[in-house]
Amino acid sequence: MSHALAKKMEPFDEEMRLVDAHCHIQFDGTFTRLEALLVQHPEASVGEIGLDGSRKGAHVAHDIQNEVFVAQLHLAKRMKRPVSVHCVRRYGRVLEGLRKANKTHNEGSPVAPWCLLHGYNGPVEMIGQFVRAGAVFSFGLSLTHTPSPKQIAAVRAVPLNALLLETDSPDNRSCTEPADMAAVAKCVAEVRDMSESELKALVWDTSVTFFGIATEHDEV
């Protein structure tokens, strides 16, 4: 099962990014090299990028994090690539960055989805604002353990056409694999009071549309 799922997900594997842990680097041609890689790999998305306001991210000043994050957002927008965003306690700044990138690149309304908010754990009240800025949301294995009321509320509030699933493999605390997506799908389907087959079909279609992959309809 895991091998078959991994083969299906191959088109979504390729991501290019400057990791936030190393964003103290100077702008010494790094973005030029990143752009060149994106040109070489037209199937690639940008990410995972983002902002970390936790103690773990405190070793990099927030203004430097934001500078690199915004630059990568604009690069993704200019090159019309989807972007995967990691955020901890900085959702307001992320939303601000998305809005500015949309405005700079003359994005009309409604904004086509282009930003994946990975492992969304932000305010439920901001979901509508993020959707209007072009965001989709993914939820992972934490839902299968002891999800918080906030997480459950977010899963219920996200529009079905903006809902994705993830395992966060291999960066989760426990060892994970693509087959674990089935457990996430089961949990989300229960929260949304819908069948797993219906949810999987919706998530697959959203994934294909978001990542711009031309493929025959298939089920995760």
Domains of the chain: 2-211 (3.20.20.140)
Give 25's pLDDT tier (boundaries 50, 70, 90): very low
Supply 167's token pair.
């395992």
Q: Report pLDDT for 167.
A: 85
Higher pLDDT, 62 or 57: 62
CA distance 107 to 76: 13
Residue 147 in contact with residue 112, Cβ under 8 Å? Answer: no
User: Measured between alpha carbons, how far is residue 89 from residues 58, 206, 220 in Å?
Assistant: 12, 26, 31
CA 36 to chain centre: 22
pLDDT value at 12 more than 80:
no
Residue 52 in contact with residue 88, Cβ under 8 Å? Answer: yes
Q: Which residues are annotated as a binding site?
A: 48, 86, 118, 168
Q: Report pLDDT for 214.
A: 63
Q: Which residues are annotated as a binding site for a divalent metal cation?
A: 48, 86, 118, 168
pLDDT tens, residue by residue, 95-149: 999 999 999 998 777 899 999 999 999 999 999 999 999 999 999 988 988 889 9
Q: Report pLDDT for 3.
A: 46
pLDDT value at 6 more than 60:
no
CA distance 167 to 89: 21
Instruction: Give 85's Cβ-side CA count (13 Å radius).
Output: 36
Determine if the peptide bond prior to 110 is cis (ω within 30°): yes
